[in-house]
Amino acid sequence: MPGDGSVRSLKALLDHLDRAAVEVDALTVHTPDLDDVFLALTGNPTSEAETAEIEKVTVR
C-alpha cells in the first residue's frame, strides 16, 4: 500500500487494519524504485521477474 513514508502514515495504516480485525503476519517497508513508478503509472509490470514478485504478495 503506497504511503508517504512517515511514521504517522504507517501508524494510521496499522490502526485501520486493527479496527478491521486484520491480522498482520509480517510487514516490510519498501522505498519505491523506477519499476514501482512504472507499474503505478501504467498498471503493467516491466518484466517477468516483476510479475513473479507481484504474484508473491498475498493478503491474509
pLDDT digits (tens, 9 = 90+) for 3-42: 787 899 989 999 999 999 999 888 888 888 888 888 888 8
Domain ranges of the chain: 7-56
Is the predicted pLDDT of residue 59 greater than 60, yes or no? no
Q: What is the pTM of this model?
A: 0.50
Q: What does the pLDDT read at residue 16? A: 93
Q: Which DSSP string do the residues of 1-60 spell out, in sequence order?
A: ----S-HHHHHHHHHHHHHTTPPPS--------HHHHHHHHHSS-SSHHHHHHHHH----
